[in-house]
Structure 1
């Protein structure tokens, strides 16, 4: 009997410790809201098979990545995946992450971004932009 009581006590104590570890920090600290903003651009080159134009746009995207409000950047090309829902008609994908919409608005008017548009926009026939913001959550 004593062994079962001890086991039960340890189980209950462990559950209480887990519950307090997950609940107390949330109630003990003020909530910190994280508002992630994602800016995803798809570039369609005028001459998609022109290696020089591809290299030039890639050069420009690497310059653009230096805008200080950008948290993370991903430059990509269409993946070699084959499912009916996958769009692969673009030349380059540019995805960048910002802490919030204010940081993204600073990016939009930053001289590096404006210079990028002026210097490289002649290479593409169109761009498609998807901006998204995640639901606010506690960090």
Structure 2
């Protein structure tokens, strides 16, 4: 398995309507055929020094293998999401693990 965890920090002036549209676009990525498990979330209310709650959205996707990840990267739903939503975020960090 390969875990692909993406944290998005949206720009400070992003409206609630834009945040909703961003989330809706993120959720379309679940339809990529190589996705085995999928979760979109926002920071939890857990208040501990080791928990980062500074991001706006979290996307976690599991793939069977690197080939599934590679398919996802060039899939039209993924490239379409980037084209549509890139303007909303100011920072992205990705953690991939196998």
**TM-score normalised by length of structure 1:** 0.68
Consecutive unaligned residues in structure 1, runs of 5 or more: 1-35, 134-139
Q: Which of these two proteins has the greater Rg computed from alpha carbons?
A: 1
Q: Which has the higher contact order (CA 8 A, sep 6+)?
A: 2
Aligned length: 98
Alignment of 1:65-80 (within 5 A): 65-80=30-45
Query: Which is richer in helix?
Result: 1
Q: CA deviation at 1:50?
A: 2.2
Taking the aligned partners of 1:74 and 1:48, their CA distance within structure 2 comes to 25
- Residue 129 (structure 1) aligns with: 94
Runs of 4+ in 1 over 4 A off after TM superposition: none
Q: CA deviation at 1:66?
A: 1.0
1:71 counterpart SS class: strand
Contact 1:48 1:54 in 2 (8 A): no
Consecutive unaligned residues in structure 2, runs of 5 or more: none
Out of 84, 87, 90, the position equivalent to 1:119 is: 84
Contact 1:38 1:132 in 2 (8 A): yes
Q: RMSD across aligned C-alpha pairs, in angstroms?
A: 1.1
Query: Which is richer in strand?
Result: 2
